[in-house]
Structure 1
Amino acid sequence: MAFQLEREQRRLERKIEALRGREDLPEPVVDLVAALARLQLEAISTAEAEVPSKQDMASAEMVLQGAPLWPRESFAVDLKQSRELAGKVLDLLAETGERNADAAATLRRALESGELDWAEAVNKLIMADDSFFQTWAEQTPDAPDALRFVIQASITPSLQAVAMGVDEQREKGTWIHGHCPVCGSLPLIGHLEGKEGQQHFTCAFCRTAYRSKRLMCPFCGEQDHTKLSYFYADEEPGFQVHVCESCKMYFKDVDFRELDRTSVPVLDDLESLVMDMLAQEKGYVRPVPSAWGF
């Protein structure tokens, strides 16, 4: 389905309103996430997306073997738009407490002075260069993930715009691998659809939604049902945590099929933070950060 900004904006506002009704989510957090989500959504349609041609993508044979169509390191970001968004993200971050304000000021000075090169920083995130971010974490010790957060928030519209173009050329159906068929990254969160509960995932990097196998760990590929299980919490209807005993990792699944609730994957992730805490208390690990760095 083609991207329709107004439809997605209405869906987003319904979801934000639902989040505001939760006592476990501080108002400043919801305000920050709401503002960021609105910025990102509006920016998708204006991002200058460099969508590759079908000939440049992975061949059908490679895809059958599990190769993504366009691996994350090949994604081109709209640097002008993302740099402008970074300034707005820093403004929002500065309003969320003294520690974040100090980190935002440090990063803004570094960008304006040239100490921090935006294009290089974006590339480091795309290439998952943890050593680069560790160095900057030492400069913002009270908010060590600030730079990663700002970059991710600022480039997500570009990533989504490219991914949408790539996904339009993908053969739809059940993807038998756990990673994203577009960029190859791990899933952020799952959701069930249809009467049969078809398993779908949303990519943590490019936000592509894709259908996957139901009984399979998306992280290690385990398919032995005796090693796969899930749990839920009565006080959090609509959310499940699926765990794998082989790799001890977990993912959250959203099941709103019988509930009158709006699903927006990146906000479902925030809404279900308590499920992360329960999973981690049981000794399971989430291999990807949350959509918002919390």
Structure 2
Amino acid sequence: MLSPFHPTNWSKAAAYWIHEIHVAFDPPVPVAPGSGGFLRRTRLGAPQVAVLVSLAFTLHCTRPPETFTARRTGLSGPPQQPGDRAFVEEGMASWYGGDDDGFSGRPTASGEIFDPDKYTCAHRTLPLGSLVEVRNLENGKRGIFRVNDRGPFIKGRILDLSRKGAEELGFSDQGTARVRIRSVDALGAPAALDPALDRMDPYVVQVAALSNPENVKALQDQLEDAFGPVTTQDALTRGGISVKRVRVGSYTNRQDAEKAAEQLAKLLKDRGVEPFITRRR
């Protein structure tokens, strides 16, 4: 049995109340032809209007309540790909842009000049231009940064912050810190990655960064037989050494890139090479 205070009972009560209302009007007074005009027509139509208003009110009160489904944004778990949830990842972060590493003033992967005093960062796969909130899990400090470069290319690290970013998060002196990164929008709220930005920059698998041209050529020849076209990218190490990054493939989704990386790791396991996934630029 429903409670007398249940909304359904309220609707029924309202309907009964309206049903008992009798709208009464004096009969129209005859007027001479051509007289009365607008006021006469208004008076004659008033009963019909009253009935329509009463009927609309009854329908509104007896209509079942609407239901809404809320959507949540995922804020934890393994790294997420573009979709309904924000990208989340945890790992070690480092920083670059010091006085002696030679990166200040050089072009980033996005084409802009790297300024260590801006709130930017480097990530291997996040679309260039993405915004991420970075939280230092060791002291709770956090900030919002724009991805404009690729890296870090050191095993066990997921993010390279600018010098300014490392200072903001309180680990510039120690060099590294464990962080959680999360994709956000321009207001800092959790947001999924932009699919359009994601499609513009295919995945590649970086196999090695070599300085000897003969070694680069030999590795290219070996990989092309099994994996198709192999590309190279000029780069400078932290020590200022010129190298060529040897890369395989151009994959529109990460799953295909991961399969290629596993195959490359098996093929080159005797050389101590550990391929990793990054972007074409």
Q: TM-score, normalised by structure 1?
A: 0.28
Give the structure with the larger strand fraction.
2
Higher gyration radius (CA): 2
Give the structure with the larger helix fraction.
1
